[in-house]
Amino acid sequence: MKALTQKLVETFSPSGYEAQIRAVVRAEIEPFADEIQVDALGNLIARKGQLKPGGSRIMLSAHIDEIGVIATHIDENGFVRFTTIGGVRPHTCLGGRVRFINGVQGVIGAERLDDLYKVPTFEQLYIDVGRDSRDGHPVRVGDVAGFDRPFADLGKRMVAKSMDDRIGAVVLIEAMRQIKDTPHELFFVFSVQEEVGVRGATTAAFGVDPDLGLAVDVTGTGDTPKARKMEVSLGNGPAIKVRDGGMLADPRVVDWMVQTAEKQHLPYQLEILEGGSTDARAIQLTRAGVPAGCLSIPCRYIHSPSEMVDTQDVENSIRLMVALLSQPVELK
């Protein structure tokens, strides 16, 4: 599982440019899928299983894009100005390294700051790729870059730049690998452009037209010094979403997930996320509406170059997902 995680998180694919990660994921799932397609927006959709008595058409979604930056201007001294793709925050950028699609690497610097105790604005930041003029510059306006950090194995914990949401893709890949028998027709969607407005899941959900939907994504924690109050901690098990900034999970789906976790003797937490949302919101609102929920993986330092998850939380998320999908679903 760690080797798969490292492979996915170290693959470069900001929102809108998911070709590389899509190819990596496709190679992993091809032996376990009955059918694979890529839709017009770029979502990778794998079908497994056929409907049997008591079965449902279920969509599972984990997004494979990541946050990044895009070049807006190159000045006469070769410094690259940029804007963001997704929820990049200035305080995580300074001194960070990035890699452009064409392989060019750079470091993020800042103009002279009058107050070193204030976070610089994006207007004060730039990317230095080691050039001193615009002539022959390897970066063009519109070129996209992702953050450049290696995977770190801390034993019980794993750290990487794009756990959000490659770790969700890991859960779906491993669940797909481990499910041997299911009454359901399962659609494993590795969605694109989530970080810029859950766009991929919106079109995928319309195309799949599921009876039931589950997203797999990361969620914040309340277990670091002076953290926002939140009843989610690393190491206490996967979180079952009740509410976030974009949706109320269907109470019947929440109960189904809780009862399955308890029956399987798996640890779990209940999640209330005050801001942000997931692919579950898009699934819930597709067509005439779909009962939807979300399996959340606790993650520290979300939308930074060093996002941290707990290995046991990931393993228990896989176990819970396999248990959920191996039996008929009765929402009460």
Q: 185 catalytic, yes or no?
A: no
What SS3 state is found at 160?
Answer: strand
Dihedrals phi, psi of 235, to nearest 5 degrees: 90, -5
163: its two tokens: 């756990």
Q: What single letter denotes the amino acid at residue 114? A: D
CA 184 to chain centre: 24
Using CA atoms, how far apart are residues 233 and 227, in angstroms rounded to an integer?
A: 11
Q: What single letter denotes the amino acid at residue 281? A: R
Asked whether the bond before 165 is cis by omega within 30 degrees of 0, the reply is yes
| List 18, 28, 174, 194, catalytic entry | 194
Q: Are strands 57-63 and 212-219 parallel, antiparallel or unpaired?
A: parallel
Using CA atoms, how far apart are residues 105 and 57, in angstroms rounded to an integer?
A: 44
238: its two tokens: 């996967």
Active-site annotation, residues: 194
